[in-house]
Structure 1
Amino acid sequence: MNTSLPDASATPLNAKPHYAILDGLRGVAALTVVAFHLCEAHATSHFDQLINHGYLAVDFFFLLSGYVIGYAYDDRWTRMTPGAFFKVRLIRLQPLVVLGMLIGAALFYFQTGPLWPGIGQTPVWLVLLVMAINATTLPVPLSLDVRGWHEMHPLDGPAWSLFYEYIGNILYALGVRKFSNAALAGLVALAGGGLVHYLLTSKGGDIVGGWSLEPEQLRVGFTRMLFPFFAGLLLRRLTRPGHISNAFGWCSLLLLAVLAWPRVGGPESLWLNGLYESASIILLFPLIVWLGASGQVKGVGSARVCRFLGGISYPLYITHYPLIYTYTAWVARHKVTLSQGLPMMVLTFGASVLLAYLSLKFYDEPVRRWLRQRFLSPASQPAQTP
């Protein structure tokens, strides 16, 4: 069976308008995630966490991914096989997963301290085994959790969302792409109902979690992926972009406001925060994506900013956390306060952005270029891959 993509001239993906603002928003969300994780090292609970809802960036990523996947591939299935789709997605996502695990393994032994006292005694062969398994994006069982945080990817925690991203892509390619709009709306409604139910009844009053193979965490992971990913697909199918002025600025401000909003309610009213997160994921994030798709980037400077943010967004997300582990271990080891740690926070933030840019230019782009040339025919290589 020929699993290569069809002739690009038949359905020219590279002729479609490119949503530069959505690229920029992805970068804004990724930068916010880094800042959230740095502040998290100084938090004592979810109630005093700065950039309190930064973890919702993951749910925004899922929705954005569904929207862009629908835009890029929904009209190509008469000439594209699931195998070809999976090949393109693997080339797009997998190289940086491998790099993230390599960086995670390289920094692992610098993270010993009160939070992870057993790191120094972890044999190298075990770290290498976990790295090799996680480099495939497959999770490791709790018996191989070398850190002790019950992570399915203990060397680079954020890879858990890529695991669910792949599941969403598989469900889309093998079945959901064939759904009528009514059937897709039914799936989104069911997933949305499950999301709201979880948020209003969960022990924490939030959607935090999804990174463990434990049953409750698996439920969180699927809940976080199913609604936004397929809601993004439905949003793409049912709406068309409008004409919004200054969309990037307004969307960035709205997104930052949602992610940085303080915790809603206290321990006695957890459901209030669940209601806030439900509204953010179900109403505000689709609005932001639609507004972003409705705007135009005007000016060379704005175009460069969106291109830069979009370029580093995925490398930043998947490579920054080993640096966060190291920073968090330093904070715990020396009992560093937020004000004391501010210079190191800024340095770690800058190092994360620099690492992402270097990873993009000297690893991800060259590797993906080689993989496309090696495994895809020239005519089947889309100029822009979501």
Structure 2
Amino acid sequence: MTAAAAGFADTRRHYPVLDGLRGVAALTVVAFHLCEAHAVNRFAQVINHGYLAVDFFFLLSGFVIGYAYDDRWRRMSLGEFFQRRLIRLHPMIVVAMVIGALMFYFQAGPLFPMIADTPLWRVLLIMVIGMTLLPVPPSMDLRGWAEMHPLNGPAWSLFFEYVANVLYALVLRRLPNRILGVLALLAGAALVHYLLTGPNGDVIGGWSLDPVQFQLGFTRLAYPFLAGLLLSRVVRPGRIAHAFPLSAAILFATMALPRIGGPGTLWMNGLYEAACIVAVFPLVVWLGASAHVPPAASARTARVCAALGGLSYPLYIIHYPFVYTYTAWTNEHHVSLRDGLPVAAATFAACVALAWLLLKYYDEPVRAWLTRRWMDRKPAVAAPAMNG
């Protein structure tokens, strides 16, 4: 949310490159999910580590939350903080569940045999529950993937985002940097241990209330969010030219690299992903925050980053119902990636276009209305003009 939309005075530095990086990650994860429809297993995926976008989002969220809110608490109540986060995140959650419900029956077929036998009332019930972002247990699954949000799978990460926001408001904001650093170190150790000794050698998962999956979701959340929060407090950005193309290239490369090792050397890929999350992603955020854009290029870079940043959240939260449909089509007709590429490209473009339309004609107007209704009577508080 921008400072203007939140009713705040813009008195702190804006980090437009971080907005742009969020957009790069969102575009990458959409491409990954479309290519994933053709993968025979986790060892043969295109844009193989695209799922790491979620871990990058968690880290960037910790940085943005710390930067935007750490110094407001003497003038801001818990209720106001939660109102601001709901205004920022929840309108798109509601419409994403509607999109998931509208497209649900288009996904019927051999891959999702449960869909054809699912009554409408059950779909509507799951849609309404999904609008609250409360997870549903595996017993309420709709397609056989045991997702906590069966109509729109990626909403699991928004559930954990809300958990992080609650923990920040109630506990983490009060902690001194030393304690926060210890917690980040422990969370990082748990993440590395899972990646090196876990059953798959990667962090894929977290979207189910199954105890193992739910624990994985917290493992994926804890270190990135804590590290991002700590980074916002203790690291001072530099002045780096060409920081956006440099940081964007690093981010994309880490997610696009083919899987490392095979079934007998799972630890190799686990070590790679641990290095990405623990070290590379914090470096990328620091680079983005350190951007020094020459005046001649600043307006152009700011426009590109603003467009990518604005598009990122709507695109991420609405794209997966289209991926379900595309995946069902490729499975039913045994479509290869080469043959399906035109449809995949069209699906990608449709998701981007729909995300832009929803941003301009739904999300921004609804957030502006909610801000006027909930927040305009509250005293202004200085804040950064940075998406978060």
Report TM bin, short chain.
over 0.9
- The whole-number CA distance in structure 1 between the counterparts of 2:96 and 2:143 is 16
Query: Larger deviation: 84-93 or 13-22?
Result: 13-22
Q: Find the counterpart in structure 2 of residue 199 from structure 1.
A: 195
C-alpha deviation, 1:203, in angstroms: 0.5
Contact 1:74 1:177 in 2 (8 A): yes
- The whole-number CA distance in structure 1 between the counterparts of 2:185 and 2:107 is 43
Q: Which amino acid aligns with 1:38?
A: L
Q: How does 1:76-115 map to 2 (within 5 A)?
A: 76-115=72-111
C-alpha deviation, 1:384, in angstroms: 4.8
> Which SS does the other structure have where 2:218 is aligned?
helix
Q: Deviations over 1:46-102 (max 9, x none)?
A: 111000000000000000000010010001011111111111001100010011100
Contact 1:14 1:384 in 2 (8 A): no
1:344 equivalent to 2:343? Answer: yes
Q: Find the counterpart in structure 1 of residue 117 from structure 2.
A: 121
Query: Taking structure 1 as reference, are residues 234 and 138 closer, same or farther at Cα in structure 2, changes over 3 Å only?
Result: same
- The whole-number CA distance in structure 1 between the counterparts of 2:185 and 2:380 is 35
Structure with more relative contact order (C-alpha pairs < 8 Å, separation 6 or more): 2
Contact 1:13 1:72 in 2 (8 A): no
Q: Which amino acid aligns with 1:282?
A: V
- The whole-number CA distance in structure 2 between the counterparts of 1:72 and 1:61 is 16
Number of matched pairs: 378
Q: Find the counterpart in structure 2 of residue 223 from structure 1.
A: 219
Q: Note the aligned Cα RMSD (angstroms).
A: 1.5
Q: How does 1:313-332 map to 2 (within 5 A)?
A: 313-332=312-331
- The whole-number CA distance in structure 2 between the counterparts of 1:185 and 1:82 is 24
- The whole-number CA distance in structure 1 between the counterparts of 2:330 and 2:186 is 42
Counterpart pick for 1:71 among 38, 45, 67: 67
Contact 2:15 2:386 in 1 (8 A): no
> Which SS does the other structure have where 1:135 is aligned?
helix
Q: Deviations over 1:293-335 (max 9, x none)?
A: 0003433322211111000000000000001011001101111
Q: Find the counterpart in structure 1 of residue 3 from structure 2.
A: none
Contact 2:172 2:180 in 1 (8 A): yes
Q: How does 1:157-196 map to 2 (within 5 A)?
A: 157-196=153-192
C-alpha deviation, 1:385, in angstroms: 4.9
Contact 1:92 1:385 in 2 (8 A): no
* TM-score, normalization by structure 1: 0.96
> Unpaired runs of 5+ in structure 1?
1-7
Q: Deviations over 1:167-225 (max 9, x none)?
A: 00100000110100000001101100110111111110000000000000011100000
- The whole-number CA distance in structure 2 between the counterparts of 1:185 and 1:77 is 21
Q: Find the counterpart in structure 2 of residue 40 from structure 1.
A: 36
- The whole-number CA distance in structure 1 between the counterparts of 2:162 and 2:146 is 21
Contact 2:314 2:358 in 1 (8 A): yes
Counterpart pick for 2:15 among 1, 8, 19: 19
Q: Find the counterpart in structure 2 of residue 154 from structure 1.
A: 150
Structure 1 segments of 4+ aligned residues over 6 angstroms from their partners: none
- The whole-number CA distance in structure 1 between the counterparts of 2:38 and 2:94 is 29
C-alpha deviation, 1:141, in angstroms: 1.2
> Which SS does the other structure have where 1:139 is aligned?
coil
> Unpaired runs of 5+ in structure 2?
1-5
Counterpart pick for 2:258 among 262, 273, 284: 262
Q: Which amino acid aligns with 1:316?
A: L
Q: Find the counterpart in structure 1 of residue 298 from structure 2.
A: 299
> Which SS does the other structure have where 2:39 is aligned?
coil
Q: Find the counterpart in structure 2 of residue 209 from structure 1.
A: 205
Q: Deviations over 1:314-369 (max 9, x none)?
A: 00000000010110011011110111101001100000100110110011001101
- The whole-number CA distance in structure 1 between the counterparts of 2:316 and 2:386 is 20
Q: Deviations over 1:24-65 (max 9, x none)?
A: 000000000000000000001111100000000000000000
Query: Percent of counterpart pairs with the same letter?
Result: 61
> Which SS does the other structure have where 2:265 is aligned?
helix
> Which SS does the other structure have where 1:58 is aligned?
helix
> Which SS does the other structure have where 1:204 is aligned?
coil
Contact 2:203 2:220 in 1 (8 A): yes
Q: Find the counterpart in structure 1 of residue 133 from structure 2.
A: 137
